[in-house]
Amino acid sequence: MKITAIKAWKVDLPLREGRYSWSNDNFVEVFDSTVVSIETDEGIRGYAECCPLGASYLPAYANGVRTGLAEIAPKLLGYDPRDLGVVNRRMDQVLRGHAYVKAPIDIACWDILGKAAGLPVYQLLGGAEQDDIALYRAISQDTPEAMAASALRYHGEGYRKFQLKVGGESHTDIERIRVCRKALEPDSILVADANTGWTRHAAARVADAVGSLDIYIEQPCLRYEDCLSIRRRTARPFVLDEVIATPDDLLRAMADDAMDVINLKISKVGGLTKARLMRDLCVNSGVAMTIEDSWGGDIVTATIAHLARSTPADFCFSATDFNSYGTVSIAKGAPMRRDGAMTAPDQPGLGIEPDFDRLGQPVLSIAI
């Protein structure tokens, strides 16, 4: 089997809530997502999606996905998409870094491998370790009272895990955490995610002030060393996200006992092949994961569901149903949340079919 064409579509994903806000006054109202298809000489097509969270969150941005794809796609024609190791090494040879550009190629190749084998991707990734994947809901940064009301509303929809977007003024963040913790039942898990927004001294102040509350602290500072300093001062369970982008980052953090949980974002690490490696290292070493991505719609949600379903439940801290945040559906067959959980499709591959009427004309088309 050979890759004969690689195409990409740009699609806007407006938010149901209108706006998503996080640290440093960042916000997004319409996500710019890229859908990728890989065509083969045997008629099987694979699909994937990549959607950075704006341009200021990670070293990734929406136009960068498409520019990077234009760079690497011509160099992948003729390769067998089922040879995931070969394809990944080829991508690393022809473009240094830019893992998020390679992610949709890798994921579309997994979709093809699944379709060729007649097996769902979760089975290729290890098999169904769980059927109901618990989801978290990100609570956009707002006043303490508005965030508590939002969390309670999503509690009513079945969520039991909440990620509070803090990382603002430390005194307001202490209030955000206290008010939300008080409003929610003890069965709810609360993560205070600063998204790198605190200085070391502000993070130390917040961690100390909420030190008696049942909460997790996530990615307080920009630098790994600052996060590690805070980690060593607090007894709260600790989550790393932005600073864990490669297997080497993960190995160093494990050696430093730098966290209890990581957020494994599939496009940030370069796709399912590298995410699986990091997932397996985490399971081996007792580190739990939120399995997710930077953002996305139906196809990203399906990809998350396959990796999460094949991850032992004890190590799958939570996952994300991004397709419930937006107002636009871009694929049929995607997981749909039920009572705060989702599952991965049982169809071969990712089990989704893009809605090409919605996507319109491709913005990139590279063919043999």
Query: Do 289 and 314 form a contact (C-beta atoms < 8 A)?
Result: no
- Where do runs of H (alpha helix) occur along 37-98? 62-72, 84-94
Return the number of the residue (13 or 138) whose C-beta is nearest Mg ion. 138
Sheet strands (E) in 25-160:
26-28, 30-40, 45-50, 133-134, 136-139
Residue 294 or 310: which CB sits closer to Mg ion?
294
Q: Which of 115, 161, 165, 274 is catalytic?
A: 165
Contact 275/300 with Cβ under 8 angstroms?
Answer: no
H helix runs in 256-345, sequence order: 266-269, 272-285, 298-309
From 226, 269, 232, select the one nearest 250 (Cα to Cα): 269
Contact assessment for residue 35 and residue 48, using Cβ atoms and an 8 Å cutoff:
yes
Q: How far is the CB of 310 from Mg ion (least distance, A)?
A: 22
Minimum CB distance to Mg ion, residue 88 (Å): 25
Q: Provide, rounded to whole angstroms, the least separation between the CB of residue 219 and Mg ion.
A: 5
CB nearer to Mg ion: pick between 319 and 328: 319
Report d(CA 292, CA 161) in Å as an integer: 14
The SS3 of residue 66 is: helix
How far apart are CB 16 and Mg ion at their closest, in Å? 20
For Mg ion, the closer CB: 123 or 219:
219
By beta-carbon proximity to Mg ion, the closer residue of 69 and 180 is 180
Residues near Mg ion (CB under 5 A) are 193, 241
Catalytic residue among 161, 265, 268, 274, which? 265
- What's the token pair of residue 190? 């609360």
- Integer Cα distance of 73 and 268 in angstroms: 19
Nearest CB to Mg ion, comparing residues 27 and 356? 27
For 141, the 3-state DSSP assignment is coil
Question: Could you tell me which of 50, 78, 51 has the C-alpha nearest to residue 368?
Answer: 78
If the CB atoms of residues 40 and 163 are measured against Mg ion, the closer one turns out to be: 163
Indicate the residue whose CB is closest to Mg ion: 241
Shortest Å, Cβ 239 to Mg ion: 7
Asked about 7 being catalytic, the answer comes back as no
Q: Which is nearer to Mg ion, 241 or 293 (CB)?
A: 241
Q: Rounded to an integer, what distance in angstroms lies between the CA atom of residue 9 and that of residue 182? A: 44
Q: Measured from the CB of residue 289, what is the shortest distance to Mg ion in angstroms? A: 12
Task: Render the burial of 148-163: b for 16+ CB within 10 Å, e for the rest.
Answer: bbbbeebbeeebbbbb
How many degrees, rounded to 5, is the angle at CA 263 between CA 257 and CA 269? 100
Catalytic: 165? yes
In the complex, minimum distance from the CB of residue 153 to Mg ion, in angstroms, rounded to a whole number? 21
Residues 6+ apart with CB under 8 A from 325: 15, 16, 17, 20, 138
Record the tokens describing residue 26, joined without a space. Answer: 């960042």
Quick one: tokens of 153? 């509303």
Burial class (CB in 10 A: 0-12, 13-18, 19+), 55: middle
CB of 240 to Mg ion, least distance (A): 9
Q: Which residues are catalytic?
A: 165, 265
